[in-house]
């Protein structure tokens, strides 16, 4: 059946300006890190992406190695674009991808060299069947490559028309300061930074958010739910089939200590008093900071996506609620 987007898709989403750029991004963006690879159900992923767009989510975030298998999330996304988002609909989307982690064997398939970044983006464009992406990120800093080379590659990519904007991911405050200044000198300003940030992961508060604000750079936190820990799934330990139950998962069983479970229970209770799920409160907690442009969420189903979208209905916190959250987090540190 031919997909026809909802006519009211822009009526209920909040859009926020990305730093001092001309781009506005939806308050929630959809990441394709999990659930869109070759081992996943294609039609389920297709339904999630279509539903996200119907709800006003215009930004879809990928990376070269998303899958599994690496590259398969981009391939599947390209198939969905070709089936459902042809013609002018491409102009309604912000599509981003990244390079920086291992993608292919040998010395040219990893990190931050000009060779790797440009080659990787060329491959990503072929997989997604696109002429350009809207945002291309350096996925992580590379201590073995001069920062001037990495930023010069990002500048070249924009000059070549392969990306409209560039961003950084996983760079510290000091690294970001240097990278942003280099990009400014080249004439290709940094649009956005994508750090890991949640109630349980708060390193960005030690300088990075200030750097981004000072330079007019947007911020899009990933893993806002701490790989599922900030949900109702772990209230009673580690359930079968969860990420923490898998040996190769990004959330490790050793991270789910009794102290963490106790924190999750207390946060869950506060969320219940606010009329939210814990996941919704965790997303809203990030959006309370005006330096946050958009929060990058994942979804394994349309229902889960809808549940996360409900976070936008209540993003304000009272001073007492914020203090309660700080007390809960501090006592478990």
Buried/exposed 253-289: b ≥16 CB within 10 Å, e otherwise:
eeebeeeebebbebbbebbeebebbbbbbbbbbbbee
CA-to-CA dists, residue 39 to 47, 70, 75, 306, angstroms: 16, 11, 12, 23
Which CATH number among 3.40.50.1980, 3.40.640.10, 3.20.20.100, 3.20.20.70 corresponds to the domain 15-231+289-313? 3.20.20.100
**Confidence (pLDDT) at 325:** 98
**pLDDT (tens digit, 9 = 90+) per residue, 148-163?**
999 999 999 999 999 9
**Residue 244, pLDDT above cutoff 80:** no
Using 50, 70 and 90 to split pLDDT, how confident is the model at 251?
Answer: low
Average pLDDT of the segment spanning 19-29: 98
**Residue 246, pLDDT above cutoff 60:** no
**Confidence (pLDDT) at 235:** 85
DSSP string, 306-325: HHHHGGGG-----HHHHHHH
**Residue 333, pLDDT above cutoff 80:** no
**pLDDT (tens digit, 9 = 90+) per residue, 278-315?**
999 999 999 999 999 999 999 999 999 999 999 999 99
Domain ranges of the chain: 15-231+289-313
Which region holds residue 332: left if phi is over 0, alpha if psi is between -120 and 50, else beta?
alpha
Using 50, 70 and 90 to split pLDDT, how confident is the model at 203?
Answer: very high
**Residue 240, pLDDT above cutoff 70:** no
By three-state DSSP, how is residue 130 classified?
A: coil
Using 50, 70 and 90 to split pLDDT, how confident is the model at 120?
Answer: very high
**Confidence (pLDDT) at 182:** 98
**Confidence (pLDDT) at 291:** 97
**Confidence (pLDDT) at 19:** 97
Asked if 321 and 270 touch (Cβ cutoff 8 Å), the reply is: yes
pTM of the model: 0.94
Which of 65, 72, 44 has the alpha carbon at shortest distance from 299?
44
Tokens of 272: 């219940």
Average pLDDT of the segment spanning 8-26: 97
**Confidence (pLDDT) at 181:** 98
Cα–Cα distance for residue pair 128/133, rounded to 1 Å: 9
H/E stretch holding 333: none
H/E stretch holding 296: strand 295-297
**Confidence (pLDDT) at 2:** 87
Average pLDDT of the segment spanning 34-40: 97
Asked if 154 and 112 touch (Cβ cutoff 8 Å), the reply is: no
**Confidence (pLDDT) at 1:** 76
């Amino acid at each position: 059946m031919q997909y026809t987007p909802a006519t009211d898709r822009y009526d209920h989403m909040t859009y926020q300006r990305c730093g001092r750029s001309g781009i506005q991004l939806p308050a929630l963006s959809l990441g394709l890190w999990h659930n869109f690879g070759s081992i996943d159900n294609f039609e389920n992923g297709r339904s999630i992406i279509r539903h996200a767009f119907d709800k006003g989510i215009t930004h879809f975030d990928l990376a070269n190695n998303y899958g599994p298998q690496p590259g398969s999330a981009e391939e599947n996304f390209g198939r969905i674009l070709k089936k459902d988002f042809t013609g002018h609909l491409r102009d309604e989307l912000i599509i981003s991808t990244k390079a920086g982690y291992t993608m292919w064997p040998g010395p040219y398939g990893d990190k931050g060299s000009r060779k790797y970044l440009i080659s990787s983006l060329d491959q990503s464009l072929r997989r997604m069947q696109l002429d350009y992406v809207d945002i291309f990120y350096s996925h992580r800093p590379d201590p073995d490559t001069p920062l001037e080379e990495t930023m010069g590659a990002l500048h070249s990519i924009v000059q070549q028309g392969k990306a409209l904007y560039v961003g950084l991911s996983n760079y510290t405050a000091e690294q970001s300061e240097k990278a942003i200044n280099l990009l400014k000198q080249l004439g290709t300003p940094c649009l956005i930074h994508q750090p890991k940030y949640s109630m349980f992961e708060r390193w960005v508060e030690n300088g990075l958010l200030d750097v981004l604000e000072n330079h007019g750079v947007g911020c899009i936190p990933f893993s806002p739910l701490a790989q599922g820990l900030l949900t109702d799934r772990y209230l009673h330990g580690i359930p079968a089939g969860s990420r923490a139950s898998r040996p190769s998962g990004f959330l490790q069983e050793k991270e789910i200590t009794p102290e963490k479970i106790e924190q999750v229970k207390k946060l869950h209770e506060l969320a219940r008093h606010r009329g939210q799920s814990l996941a919704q409160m965790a997303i809203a907690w990030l959006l309370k900071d005006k330096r946050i442009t958009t929060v990058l969420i994942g979804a394994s189903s349309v229902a889960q996506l809808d549940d996360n979208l409900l976070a936008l209905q209540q993003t304000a916190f009272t001073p007492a609620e914020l203090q309660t959250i700080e007390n809960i987090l501090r006592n478990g540190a």
